[in-house]
Amino acid sequence: MAKSDALRQPASPQVEALFDRVAPVYDELNQTLSLGLHRIWKRMAVLWSEAQTGDRVLDICCGSGDVALLLAQQVGAAGQVEGLDFSHQQLAVARQRPQPDNITWVEGNALDLPYAEGSFDAATMSYGLRNLSDIPRALAELRRVLKPDKKAAILDFHRPRSIPMQQFQRWYLHQVVVPTAERLGLRDEYAYLEPSIARFPQGPQQVRLAIAAGFSHAVHYPIAAGMMGVLVVKH
Ligand SMILES: C[S@@+](CC[C@H](N)C(=O)[O-])C[C@H]1O[C@@H](n2cnc3c(N)ncnc32)[C@H](O)[C@@H]1O
């Protein structure tokens, strides 16, 4: 497969159906499989987006709403949060959670954001970019809706550089993640993780893609011993 084809996968309807199916157990599985650490990584993304009190901010691929809820705390009652996802079922879970009234849940496509240019003071995307069928387009859309000089933070899986950590990540996915999901009847839904991580661009390539999408500045921070990463981009 040519490099550019690897960044433009078809199959958004399949991805949407997959996240609809996992919605009822998604939060619980995240908590168990990350040993609760995903909450810390999500907080890091919110901090690195530099969202401030009173800001209007966007969480793309918000799923069941974890990061949008953190953003709501960050921007306070004077701020405004939009949580966008194309999975109806994930948004249904998000809407049921206790929340302040400055969050709006929007059913929409990350590749065609329903916002005017320069609408947001900050943005986040957590475990979304890897699942998108056209990464260059998603980054261009993210840049379009950010105000000049404003930042976004994109959290996702990453392949560690060290061989022992690579082996650990593979072991964990095979021996812990997939069997745990299998017990809930969701084997295939979680077996997709390893190939999706394998084809996801590594940090330096993410930086190059962000610059190609028009961001003036981009840095990728490996976290969790390189098994996760946060790409911080500036309009
Ligand atoms: C792994 S979940 C992450 C959810 C949440 N951000 C979190 O960190 O817990 C990925 C989410 O991306 C959404 N998604 C994938 N492709 C999308 C697209 N093209 N437009 C909008 N949402 C999309 C899925 O529906 C799913 O809810």
Query: Along the 235 residues of the chain, how does pLDDT read in single tens digits?
Result: 444 555 555 447 888 888 999 998 888 899 999 999 999 999 999 999 999 999 999 999 999 999 999 999 999 999 999 999 999 999 999 999 999 999 999 999 999 999 999 999 999 999 999 999 999 999 999 999 999 999 999 999 999 999 999 999 999 999 999 999 999 888 988 899 999 999 999 999 999 999 999 999 999 999 999 999 999 999 9
Instruction: State the pTM of this model.
Output: 0.94
**Could you state, in order of their start, the residue ranges of all structural domains in the chain?**
3-158+201-234
Considering all CA atoms of the chain, what is the largest pairwise distance in Å, rounded to the nearest integer?
48
Nearest atom of ligand 1 to the alpha carbon of 132 = 16
Cα 35 → chain centroid: 18
Ligand 1 contact via 9 beta carbon (within 6 Å) = no
pLDDT at residue 2, rounded to an integer:
44
Ligand 1 contact via 193 beta carbon (within 6 Å) = no
User: Which residues contact residue 211 at a Cβ distance below 8 angstroms, ignoring those fewer than 6 apart?
Assistant: 218
Q: DSSP letter string over 164-195?
A: HHHHHHHHHIIIIIHHHHHHTT-HHHHHTHHH
Which residues is 126 bridged to in the sheet?
A: 155
Residues, the chain, total? Answer: 235
Looking at residue 75, its amino acid is: V
Distances (CA, A) of 148 to 116, 145, 232: 13, 9, 15
For ligand 1, atom 26, the nearest C-alpha belongs to 63
Query: Would you identify the CATH topology of the domain 3-158+201-234?
Result: Rossmann fold (3.40.50)
pLDDT at residue 8, rounded to an integer:
55
Angle at 39 between CA 208 and CA 20, to 5 degrees: 80
Give the Å distance between the CA of 149 and the centre of ligand 1.
26
pLDDT at residue 13, rounded to an integer:
84
Q: What are phi and psi of 124, to 5 degrees?
A: -135, 160
pLDDT at residue 133, rounded to an integer:
92
pLDDT at residue 1, rounded to an integer:
40
